Chain A
C-alpha cells in the first residue's frame, strides 16, 4: 500500500510537471487515431499504466493486484485538481502554460466538473489495474505487445512524414483524412507488429528439426539479405525521401559524425569533453574563413578548404588537449566546457569581428564541386555526409580494435594502472583528442557548407550536450548506439516540430534516467557493461560495513 501511494504521488508530480511546462498542450494537437486520441492522452495513459505496472511489480495475488488501482486513482485526482485550479483560480500570470485549454486536455475532454472527476477516476483505476496485471503476463509476449504499441504510436506520429512516401492506396487505408491513423489502420499496424514475432517464433518451433540441419547457413543468408536491403534503402534515400527528409537526414548525419568523434574521446578513452562544440565551431569557422569571399582574400575551393579545416581542427585538438592532459574526470569536463565557451565568446566579440564576422556570422561559403557537378541541394549533400560517416565509422572500428584503442580502454578503466603497464598516457590521450577533433571539425566544415553560413548562435554549449546525450542514450562506447541515439534525439525532434520546444528538457531527462536505469545505454558495448558491473559489485562489497553503521541513528 505504501508503495502504491509513493508511486501515485510520483505519478501525480510527473503529471503536473507535464501539464505545467506546456508539454501536454503542445502535444494535444498531434492526433494519433482519427481525432479521438491525441498524443497528450496517450502520454497520460502511458503514465497511468506505468505507475500501475511499477506498483504491482511484485504482485503475488488478487489483493496485491487491487492496490495497483490506487496510484491511478491518486493520479486521476491530482490531474482533476490541476484542471480545477487552472480553470477556477487561473494561474496564467505565473505559469505561462496554464492556458484555458489545459483543463480540457488533462480531463480527456470532459472539463473540471463532476463528470470529469468520475471519468478520470474510472480511467485511472482501469489503466492502473491493466498496468498491474501486465506483470502477470510472461516477459516475452509483454515485450512484443509493448513494442507493437510503441510502433503504432510512432507510425501515427509520423503521419505527415510517411504519407507522401507511401503509395496512395496504403495511405488511404492506414491514415484518417482528419489526422492520425484510421481505426482500421491502427488495427493493421498493431496486428502486424504483434503477429510478426509470434509467427516467427511459431515457425521456428515447427521447423525445429529442419532448422537444426542448416541453421548457420539460413541465418547468414538472411543476415546478408537484410544488410543488402538496408544499404539499398539508405543509398536511395534522397530519391524517395524528398527535400525535407533529406535535410533532416543530413542533420542526423552531422550529429552521427560528431557522435563518432566524441565517442573516440568519451567512449573509448573515457575523457568527458563538455566543450566538444569547440571543434565543430573551429571546423565550421575555418571552412568559412578559408572559402568565403567575405573575409580575407583566400576564397579557396571546397575541397582544399575541407582538408585544411580538418587539419586546423586536429591542430586545435592537440592544442586544447595538451594543457588539459593532466586532468581527470570532472575537472577535465569543466575545463573543456570552459574552452568551448571561450571559443564561442571570442567569435562573438567585437575584437575579432573583422576576422570572424562577429554576431552576424559569415555567409557565402563554398559548395563542393565534383567535375562539372555542383553539390548544393540537401539530397546531394546526403551522399557527401554518408561517405563522411562511413569514413568516421571505419576509423572508429579500426582504432577500437587496434593497439591504441586497447590503450584508450585501459586508460578509461584505470589511468594509473594503464600507465604502470607501459602505456604512454600523453600520446594516447593526445591521439584521442586529435582524432576526435578531426571528426568534429569535418562535421563542422560540412555543416558550414550545407547551410552556407555560420553564426555564433549555432555553436552554443547545447550542441555539446546534444552529442553527449545521444552517446549516453545509445550507450557510451557503442558504435550502433550512436545511430540509435542520433535518430531518436536529433531525427525525431526535427520531424515533429512540437518536440523542438522540449528537446533540451527531454535530453536532461534522458541523461538522468539512462544513468540511473541503464548506464550502459540502449545498445551497449560489451566491455562497458562489464566495467559497470564490476563497479557495482565493488560498491556492494563495500556497502555492508557502512550499512550496519548507518542503520543506527546518529548525527
Chain B
C-alpha cells in the first residue's frame, strides 16, 4: 500500500493527488467512453449516408466561421482588460437586428434582387457600424468607470448591460421573430453545397484575414497588441491606453456585426434573444482555443461549429437518444464546462493560465 502511494507520488511528479481532479477525470473518462461507444454504434448502424455527413460538416464549418468572428471579440477584450464582455452576444444581436431594417428596405425597392453583391456589402458595413458603435458606447459608459474594481464588479455590470440591451431591443422593435429577406443569388447550390453556406464561410475567412492584417500592420493594431501584452509598459511607451481599449471594443464589435449578418443569412431570422446562445458558444470557442489567443479563437470557433453540427448525429444517436438534435446546445455547454475543468488554457494555450 505504502509503496503504491509512493509510486503514485513519483508518477504525478511528487505532488499530492487532488481528490477533485480524480473525480473530474473519472467523469471525463466516462463521457469520453460514451462518445466513443455512441460514435461506433452510429457508424456501425449506417444510419446516415456519406452525403449527409458531408452536409453536416459544411454546415458546421459555416456556423463555426460565425462563432469564430464573435469569439474574436471576446478574446480581444479579454486580452486588454482581463474581463469577459458578457454583453458581446448582444452586440452581435444588435448588428443583425438593425441590418434587418436596411435589408427590408432594400428588398422593398427591389435593390437586393438587382444588385445582390452591393446590397450584401452594404448590409455588412451597416451592421458592423451599428455593432461597433454599441460596443464602444458600452465600454465608455459601463466598463470604463469600473477599471481597477474587484473582478466580480465588471462581470456583474456586463451581465446587466447584456439584459439592458436585449430588452431595449425588445421594447424598440417588438418581441416577435423578424424574417430576413432572402438573397436570390445565394439560393441554390454550387458544387452540391448550399451557396449561402459557402459565402458565409468565405466571408468569415475574409473578415478574419482583414482583422489579422489590421492587427499586424496598422498603428492602432500595434497599440492594441501592446496594451494586451502589458498595459503599464505600453502606457509608458506613450500608447494612449484608453483609446487602444476603445478601439479593441470597436474592432470586436465590427466583427460581431459582420457575424450577425452572416448568421441572419444562414438562419434567415432575427429576434431580440438571438444573441444569448451564439454569445455563450462563441465564448466557449474562445476558451476552447485559449482565451486571449487570436488564432485560438478562430480555430476554437471552427471546432465547436463542427462538433455541434456533427455531434448529435454522431454520438448521441448511437446511444439511442431520441431527437438528438435537441441536445446540440447541451453538447456545446458540456464542452465549455469540460474545457474549463481540464484545460482552462485551451487547445492552443493562453498567456494567462494562472488567472483562471
Which residues of A approach B to under 8 Å, CB–CB? Answer: 17, 20-23, 94-97, 270, 272, 274, 322-331, 333-335, 337-339, 341-342, 345-346, 348-351, 426, 461, 465, 468-469, 472, 502, 504-505, 507-512, 515-516, 519, 531-532, 535-536, 538-539, 542-543, 545-546, 549-550, 552-555
Contacts and interface: CB of A to CB of B under 8 A. Distances in A.
B56 interface: no
A535 B150 contact: yes
A341 B335 CA distance: 13
A546 B235 contact: yes
B341 interface: yes
Nearest to A515: B157
A469 B156 CA distance: 9
Nearest to A341: B333
Contact of A550 (B171, B242, B356): B242
| Listed residue (B170, B241, B333) with the most chain A CB atoms within 10 angstroms of its CB | B333
B165 interface: yes
B148 A465 contact: no
B168 interface: yes
B145 interface: yes
Contacts of B156: 272, 468, 472, 511, 515
B155 interface: yes
Q: Is the interface of B mostly helix, strand, loop or mixed?
A: helix
A344 B297 CA distance: 27
A426 B18 CA distance: 10
Nearest to A511: B160
B356 A328 contact: yes
Interface residues of B, number: 74
B218 to A, nearest CB: 10
Contact of A327 (B163, B322, B324, B340): B340
B15 interface: no
A106 to B, nearest CB: 15
Contacts of A510: 160
The 10 A-B residue pairs with the shortest CB-CB distance in the complex, in nearest-first order = A511-B160, A21-B171, A539-B148, A508-B164, A554-B238, A508-B163, A549-B235, A505-B167, A555-B223, A338-B333
17 contacts: A20-B172, A94-B173, A323-B23, A331-B344, A335-B340, A335-B341, A342-B333, A345-B327, A349-B326, A465-B159, A468-B159, A469-B160, A505-B163, A511-B163, A516-B157, A536-B148, A542-B148
B341 A502 contact: no
Interface in B193-251: 219-220, 223, 231-232, 235-244
Given A333-B155, A426-B19, A553-B240, 7 more contacts: A95-B172, A272-B155, A323-B24, A331-B344, A350-B322, A508-B167, A546-B235
Q: Is the interface of A mostly helix, strand, loop or mixed?
A: helix
A390 B356 CA distance: 37
Interface in B301-356: 321-324, 326-327, 329-330, 333-334, 336-337, 340-341, 344, 355-356
A330 B280 CA distance: 13
Contact of B323 (A22, A349, A545): A349
B159 to A, nearest CB: 6
Contacts of B327: 345-346, 349, 351
B147 A539 contact: yes
A391 B184 CA distance: 64
Contacts of B340: 324, 327, 331, 334-335
A396 B346 CA distance: 38
Nearest to A547: B235
Given A323-B24, A335-B337, A554-B240, A351 B321 contact: yes
Nearest to A94: B101
A549 B243 CA distance: 13
Contacts of B223: 554-555
A21 B159 contact: no
A331 B286 CA distance: 12
| Listed residue (B151, B152, B159, B333) with the most chain A CB atoms within 10 angstroms of its CB | B159
Nearest to B145: A516
Contacts of B162: 508
A323 B326 contact: no
B110 interface: no
A97 B148 CA distance: 39
B179 interface: no
Nearest to B23: A322
A318 B283 CA distance: 25
Interface in B124-173: 142, 145-157, 159-168, 170-173
Nearest to A552: B238
B20 interface: yes
A345 B329 contact: yes
B160 A97 contact: no
